[in-house]
Amino acid sequence: MNIAVIFGGRSDEHEVSRSSAVNVIKGLDSDRYEITKIGITKEGRWYLTEASTGEIASGAWENRPDNRQACIPADPTVHGILVFDEEDRATAKRIDCIIPVLHGDNGEDGTVQGLFELAEIPYVGPGVKASANGMDKSFTKIIVGETGITQAKYCVIKKKDFADDREGEIMNALSTNDGKLPLFVKPSSAGSSVGASKVEKKSELEGAIENAFKYDDKVLVEEMIVGREMEVAVLGNHNPKASCVGEILSAGEFYDYDAKYNNPESQTRVVDDIPMSKQKEIRNSAVEIFKVMDCRGLSRVDFFYTEDGRVVFNEINTLPGFTNISMYPQLWEAMGIDQPTLLDSLIKLAIEEHTYDEKY
């Protein structure tokens, strides 16, 4: 079976994608699968590469002289990729399943998933609608709001509205939690806490909004929930299962990009010190959110657990990381499912869902 691992991309999470891809490639059973590696540069060029995992990790894969430009055509009769030689002659290579190890824009926002749908190639992870709605946190909040699951108070600010009435939009933001600070400001469609900041003074709000607008045209302003950061891995299609509950122990004030990837003091662990009833509530809520978002394959669902015992939904990640520090594979490892077995399950789920869609 030929498995395409696609990594890189044009988003701000390009480096995270490469790190995840290294672990995915190492985790795939090379006796069982033929692994086709497709790298996307920051400029958006696709290449078939024979790069080692070390070259992928460092970014040196882009410099290999034997890289060949490639693409996935929307034509379903190809059922794979086209690889171009030095004279631009194309050769088709069949792909049985795609693992898109892509994060952020053009990776987990439904765009590349739409291409896979047109090409009629099975792929790991949620479909177009779930990916798009999961990427845009404002849409996620609207959908999850229908479940009654507790989430932070919030407001949405659009770049054009901010440009037209800066003062009015700042006042709207300040009213998010009845004028109470701190607030949390982040791009509506960015992962790995890119562009996120905590606002403790009114004078900081404008700068925080402007910073978030560097990454998206829509900004989410939320009440600051003080609590422990909990994460649950969900796996499955029509009958999804939740892992045990994990916790983020951030070395920073909150788990932003720097705390997540650059600070070795940040840690993750399996939770064993909160009531089982609350762990069950978190796990059940994760599955309910997975279902209402119409996810499939995998997702990671994040919560806060407050000192007074409240469970508050934070966000969903429809293509969670697979780096050395990523919670998703760690949680399944804690459940007795190692990474090769987990990847086997994800590939099987992708093919099952594709077959189901074709049948119905």
Annotated binding residues for ATP, written as ranges, equal: 137, 184-186, 192-193, 222-229, 314-315
Local structure of 248: helix, strand or coil: strand
Q: Which residue has the tokens 């809520």?
A: 285
Q: Which residues fall in the annotated binding site?
A: 137, 184-186, 192-193, 222-229, 302, 314-315, 317
CA angle 78, 44, 339 (to 5 degrees): 70
E strand residue ranges, 15-102 = 34-40, 46-49, 68-71, 80-84, 90-94, 97-101
Q: Active-site residue 326, yes or no?
A: yes
Q: Which amino acid is at 56?
A: I
Q: Active-site residue 192, yes or no?
A: yes
DSSP conformational letter for 280: H
Contact 220, 156 (CB under 8 A): yes
Contact 138, 155 (CB under 8 A): no
Catalytic residue among 19, 20, 189, 192: 192
Q: Which residues fall in the annotated binding site for Mg(2+)?
A: 302, 315, 317
R_g of the chain, CA atoms, integer Å: 21
Q: Which residue has the tokens 């925080």?
A: 208
Rounded Cα gap, residues 143 and 151, in angstroms: 12
Is residue 10 packed enough to be buried (19+ CB in 10 Å), middle (13-18) or exposed (0-12)?
Answer: middle
Catalytic residue among 11, 13, 231, 285: 13
Q: Which amino acid is at 71?
A: C
Catalytic residue among 11, 17, 243, 326: 326
Catalytic site positions: 13, 192, 326
